[in-house]
Chain A
Amino acid sequence: MSPSTASIRVRLTGWYSVVLFLMMGVYATATFVAVRHEFLEQLDDQLHDDFETAEGFLAPASDGRIAWSSDRHHDPDNDEERGSDVWSASGEPIYRSSASAVLPPAAIAAATATPRYESLVTNGRRWRTLTGTSLVGGRAVVLRVSRSEDRLRTQLWEILVVLVLGLPLVVALAGIGGYALARGALMPIDHLATEARRITADRLHERLSVPNQHDEIGRLASVINDTFARLESSFDQLRRFTTDASHELRTPLSVIRGIGEMGLKETRTPAEYKEALGSMLEEVDRLTTLVDTLLRLSHGDAGTVRLSPEPVDLSQLARDVVSSLGILAEERNQRLRVDAVEPVSITADRLVLREAITNVVDNAIKYSPRSSAIDIRVYQEGDHAMVAVADEGPGIAAEHRQRIFDRFFRLDEARSRDAGGAGLGLAIARWAVEANGGEISVDSRTNGGSVFRIVLPLRVPTVAEFPPLLGTGPAEKLATGFKAAVNELGRAKSSSATKQ
């Protein structure tokens, strides 16, 4: 069925009327059949009474013949509607009333002691008859009483007319009533539509009015209002993001411009030019990193980042991150403590997850005071793997905890800029964790620091056994890499020394 263009109330009324018509039709038919049956039964009862009355009119006359002697009160003779006929057992007519004279004679042979009902049609008129034998003075006669069905037919016809004409009338009236009801019931929806249309992107703060939030319309309005609220918050987020991103991109650009202008103002020494170009390149670098990060985040939003899940030992991953970032903590005289001995195996994209942990740990190092301790704990809890990074930093006020994972959100503008961040580290971390089906949250510790918790689903690795970790850990790699670099340096130093 193709979607109807008619409004709900028209369709509702249509269906309602059709159903009502069918129901009323069945009802009317049943009524008519019952009435007709009842009428026919009454007619037969009357015939039965007539039969008994007629029997009373028969009496043997003085000459030995049976005679018909109706009295004045019960004279059926002048009645056009009914008649009585009497025959002798040999078929000789004894009495025939005028009305029933048109009827064919009764079949004498078929007449029995038990009265028999019969319908006859003569000259287009229907008659109902009752035929039976009766003993009058010891002699059997055949007696037939009959009544015309004319009056009964007329009555039935009138009832039929009333029913047939009344049916559409009733359905039409009910349809009008139903339409009015449906209109009344659906009116609030029209209101909602009008109100909802009024709320555009510029007026997202407006809400639909909810007259009664417990009825169906009220619930609908509440749901729509919730949607508007979410829409508004996404819009706000987007607006904020755009503003922040423009701001972040502007800053390096204006620095580059400033350096260029300074360089051109007067003639400088080659060293000064080099310095200026270096500064510009640094800013370009910063800009590139920022744009790269934003691109990655927007790819993440668009869902175009393809993850390659593999079995990952979360403990091993945490130890890798710590060994790689440990040097930063060392510089600040902080202690990085790792409690990740038991292997916790999950299925995740190793690189993306590593990025998440790296950003959270780096964040902790950056914002914790010198000489404090940072605890990293990896453990399994139920069917979840947990990474908890606890620091002794200043903590995060409750009202900021939701927004701390937002892009460009900074608690302390001046300080974090010094630390070299653009306010994207935790946003990346959140994206990376959520891409792997997990959640990230932050809590305050009783002693003032914060705890970042990464919760990841503990999926059973599809590979029965972990593949042996390729080569050695990053710490070792770092060591060998630097050993090679130092060797090279040593060679260069000696060669330059020989040159001199």
Chain B
Amino acid sequence: MSREMPAREVWREPRRATPLDNVIDVQMTRLRKKVDTDGGPRLIHTVRGVGFVLRGGEP
């Protein structure tokens, strides 16, 4: 999932701007905290320069 997707789908912004990018990053961090609980497999991975990916198993 690239950052454009939540920008478009959730915030209904036609463009990506710096404030919104930061908002998305913070929201993803929080989501990760909730989903990737201690001990469990990490599911949300950040792919630098692209966005986020939901993937079980390997790092």
Complex-state Cα separation, A362 to B20, whole angstroms: 9
Q: Which residues, 22 to 59 on B, are CB-close (under 8 Å) to A?
A: 22-23, 26-27, 30-31, 34-35, 41, 43-44, 47-50, 54, 56-57
Given known contacts A275-B48, A420-B22, A482-B31, A496 and B57 CB-to-CB distance under 8 angstroms: yes
Majority SS at the chain B contact face: mixed
Complex-state Cα separation, A280 to B48, whole angstroms: 9
B-facing mask of A274-295, CB < 8 A → 1, else 0?
A: 0101111111110001001100
Contact A277 B49, beta carbon cutoff 8 Å = yes
Contact B56 A486, beta carbon cutoff 8 Å = no
Q: Which residues of B contact A500 (CB under 8 A)?
A: 56-57
Contact A359 B19, beta carbon cutoff 8 Å = yes
Q: Does A478 contact B (CB under 8 A)?
A: yes
Complex-state Cα separation, A292 to B14, whole angstroms: 12
How many chain A residues touch B (CB < 8 A): the figure is: 42
Nearest CB on B from A299, distance (A): 13
How many chain B residues touch A (CB < 8 A): the figure is: 31
Complex-state Cα separation, A159 to B47, whole angstroms: 111
Complex partner residue of A327 from B12, B27, B56, CB under 8 angstroms:
B27
Contact B43 A489, beta carbon cutoff 8 Å = yes
**Would you give 16 A-B contacts (Cβ < 8 Å), ordered by A?**
A278-B50, A281-B49, A284-B49, A327-B23, A327-B27, A358-B20, A359-B19, A420-B18, A422-B18, A425-B19, A481-B6, A486-B31, A489-B43, A492-B54, A493-B43, A496-B57
B-facing mask of A329-357, CB < 8 A → 1, else 0?
A: 00100000000000000000001000100
Nearest CB on B from A73, distance (A): 123
Q: Which residues of A contact B10 (CB under 8 A)?
A: 477-478, 481-482
Q: Does A297 contact B (CB under 8 A)?
A: no
Contact A493 B19, beta carbon cutoff 8 Å = no
Contact A477 B12, beta carbon cutoff 8 Å = yes
Q: Write the chain A residue with the least CB distance to B41.
A: A496
Complex-state Cα separation, A122 to B50, whole angstroms: 124
Nearest CB on A from B57, distance (A): 7
Given known contacts A280-B49, A474-B12, A325 and B17 CB-to-CB distance under 8 angstroms: no
Contact B48 A289, beta carbon cutoff 8 Å = no
Contact B48 A278, beta carbon cutoff 8 Å = yes
Complex partner residue of A485 from B15, B16, B31, CB under 8 angstroms:
B31
Q: Which residues of B contact A275 (CB under 8 A)?
A: 48
Q: Does A214 contact B (CB under 8 A)?
A: no
Q: Which residues of B contact A325 (CB under 8 A)?
A: 19, 23
Contact B48 A281, beta carbon cutoff 8 Å = yes
Total A-B pairs, Cβ < 8 A: 92
Q: Which residues of B contact A119 (CB under 8 A)?
A: none
Q: Which residues of B contact A362 (CB under 8 A)?
A: 18-19, 22
Q: Does A72 contact B (CB under 8 A)?
A: no
Given known contacts A328-B26, A478-B11, A486 and B48 CB-to-CB distance under 8 angstroms: no
Complex-state Cα separation, A362 to B26, whole angstroms: 14
Contact A482 B15, beta carbon cutoff 8 Å = no
Beyond A277-B49, A478-B27, 15 additional pairs, beta carbon < 8 A: A275-B48, A278-B47, A278-B50, A281-B49, A282-B49, A325-B19, A328-B22, A362-B19, A425-B18, A474-B11, A477-B10, A489-B35, A493-B56, A496-B43, A496-B57
Q: Which residues of B contact A355 (CB under 8 A)?
A: 17
What 10 A-B pairs have minimum CB-CB distances, sorted nearest first?
A281-B49, A278-B48, A496-B56, A481-B10, A362-B19, A278-B49, A282-B49, A327-B26, A358-B19, A489-B35
Complex partner residue of A351 from B14, B20, B35, B47, CB under 8 angstroms:
B14
Contact B18 A289, beta carbon cutoff 8 Å = yes
Contact B43 A328, beta carbon cutoff 8 Å = no
Contact B26 A492, beta carbon cutoff 8 Å = no
Q: Does A265 contact B (CB under 8 A)?
A: no
Q: Which residues of B contact A478 (CB under 8 A)?
A: 10-11, 27
Complex-state Cα separation, A325 to B20, whole angstroms: 8
Nearest CB on B from A354, distance (A): 9
Nearest CB on B from A30, distance (A): 83
Nearest CB on A from B14, distance (A): 7
Q: Does A203 contact B (CB under 8 A)?
A: no
Q: Write the chain B residue with the least CB distance to A424.
A: B18
Q: Write the chain B residue with the least CB distance to A321.
A: B19
Q: Does A115 contact B (CB under 8 A)?
A: no
Q: Does A197 contact B (CB under 8 A)?
A: no
Q: Which residues of B contact A492 (CB under 8 A)?
A: 43, 54, 56
Complex-state Cα separation, A425 to B20, whole angstroms: 12
Nearest CB on B from A498, distance (A): 10
Contact A324 B11, beta carbon cutoff 8 Å = yes
Nearest CB on A from B16, distance (A): 7
Q: Does A421 contact B (CB under 8 A)?
A: yes
Nearest CB on B from A141, distance (A): 124
Q: Does A74 contact B (CB under 8 A)?
A: no
Q: Does A499 contact B (CB under 8 A)?
A: yes
